[in-house]
Chain A
Amino acid sequence: MTEETTLDELGIAVRLAAPRRPFVLIQLEGPGAPREVPLELPEFVVGRSLQAHFTIDSSRISRQHFTLRRQGPDYLLTDLDSANGVFLNGVRVHSAVLRDGDMVQIGDVVLLYREGDG
């Protein structure tokens, strides 16, 4: 630490330089499980379509089933009018701000949401 550098500035520099853990969606059950997808886009579509960012080959999932949209430090999950709905920790929801450890079920697929710090 130089004479000009305060402890506060050093702390900020260390925090900025620290490696960032990405937000991730971990598929625990269903076709293709287990697998993990980092959420690296501001908007992320999960569905059966090959155009989805996270494609899951299940007949019980809509082509575009739900979206995850970055809102500040959080991700907002929104059901895209899917046929079989989105269940968050067992409750059917239209949308929700996700929290670390949330379990998202769509059809026969179970996904675990893990927060990062990136």
Chain B
Amino acid sequence: MSLFVRFWGTRGSIPTPGHSTRRYGGNTSCVEVRVDDALFICDGGTGMRELGEALLARSSDPVDAHLLLSHTHWDHIQGFPFFLPAYRSTTTLRVYDVERDDDRVHRLLLGQMRPEYFPVDFSELGSRIVPSHLDGGCTTIEGVTVRAFEQVHPGRSFAFSFAKGGTKVVYATDSELDRTVINRSDILDRPHALRALPRDALAFVADADLLIADAQYNDDDYRDGWGHARANTVVDFAIQAGAKQLVLFHHDPTQTDADVDGKVERAMARIRAAGAALTVFGAREGLELKLG
């Protein structure tokens, strides 16, 4: 069994090209998860454009992919109209909603290609785009167990886990974990105290080999209600869930590379202080990990 994870877009909210974001990247959310021959695409942010180019360059075989969107906010769908394989008749793209009777993802991908927003109509895409669902939150796709978990985010969002052969990857972006912290008053009163997270969220992530998690904010720039997490809260989440590696994801658009470096260093310090065996790093465009 082989499992690869590659980051094509790591930024939150809006693309941030430029010298100050060159190391971690300026494209919005898009992560490729390859499990043996199964290709999963987590979110269709602007990073999806380069993923499409890479897929066509990688092989002449038809692209057959499963697209899972955490939600349909702009920074998670804007790359889709620029995903070149979608224009090929040989491509099959399965687009997932979580629930059986929901077609919101498909409708919104179609809607953002109306002529008011984009010059090419959805109906002109040459590929086979198949609305699919996750059977209410858990299904098996090409031998990979895929689960969904609803998170706290304006307008809803979902985390996804991918498991096969004892290896598990969790993609959990656009999640305001801080609003679910059980001892929430401690975050301000005793910021160094462990932030206890709910049992169901911990169970979803339990023992993940890799947790890719929304860590947009530091403690001092957190925006209550904007749908994103403090990095320190995510560190505590990963520790309590027993994750092996934590990737700080969905960097705030105001954060330069140096700012993200600082966020990672503070996360490392918190892990050391907790005496935990957890590896942490900042999600970075062009980085590929091999697991399993």
A94 and B286 contacting across the interface, CB-CB below 8 Å: no
Given A90-B281, A94-B4, check contact A99 B288 (CB 8 Å): no
How far, in angstroms, from A89 to B6 measured CA to CA in the complex? Answer: 17
- How many whole Å from A104's CB to the nearest CB in chain B? 13
B22 and A93 contacting across the interface, CB-CB below 8 Å: no
A99 and B281 contacting across the interface, CB-CB below 8 Å: no
Q: Chain A binding site: helix, strand, loop or mixed by DSSP?
A: strand
In this complex, the interface size class of chain A, counting residues with CB under 8 Å from chain B, is 10 to 19
Given A99-B22, A99-B23, check contact A94 B281 (CB 8 Å): no
Q: Which of A90, A93, A94, A97 meets B285, CB within 8 Å?
A: A97
Which A residues touch B107, using CB under 8 A?
none
A18 at the binding interface (Cβ < 8 Å) = no
A21 at the binding interface (Cβ < 8 Å) = no
B289 and A94 contacting across the interface, CB-CB below 8 Å: yes
Which A residues touch B288, using CB under 8 A?
93-96
Q: Chain B binding site: helix, strand, loop or mixed by DSSP?
A: strand
* B interface size (C-beta, 8 A): 14
Which B residues touch A90, using CB under 8 A?
279, 281
Q: Quick one: which of A50-95 are within 8 Å of B by CB?
A: 74, 76, 79, 88-95
Which A residues touch B287, using CB under 8 A?
88, 93, 95-97
Which B residues touch A97, using CB under 8 A?
285-287
How far, in angstroms, from A93 to B4 measured CA to CA in the complex? Answer: 10
How far, in angstroms, from A99 to B258 measured CA to CA in the complex? Answer: 13
How far, in angstroms, from A103 to B286 measured CA to CA in the complex? Answer: 16
Smallest CB-CB separation from A74: which chain B residue? B286
B284 and A94 contacting across the interface, CB-CB below 8 Å: no
B58 at the binding interface (Cβ < 8 Å) = no
- How many whole Å from B59's CB to the nearest CB in chain A? 16
Query: 10 A-B Cβ contacts within 8 A?
Result: A79-B290, A90-B281, A94-B288, A94-B289, A95-B6, A95-B286, A96-B284, A97-B285, A97-B286, A99-B22
Across the A-B interface, give the 5 residue pairs with the lowest CB-CB distance, nearest first: A97-B286, A94-B290, A95-B288, A99-B23, A94-B288
Given contacts A89-B281, A94-B4, A95-B288, could you give 15 more A-B pairs where the C-beta distance is less than 8 Å?
A74-B286, A79-B290, A90-B279, A91-B245, A91-B281, A92-B289, A93-B288, A94-B289, A94-B290, A95-B286, A95-B287, A96-B286, A96-B287, A96-B288, A97-B285
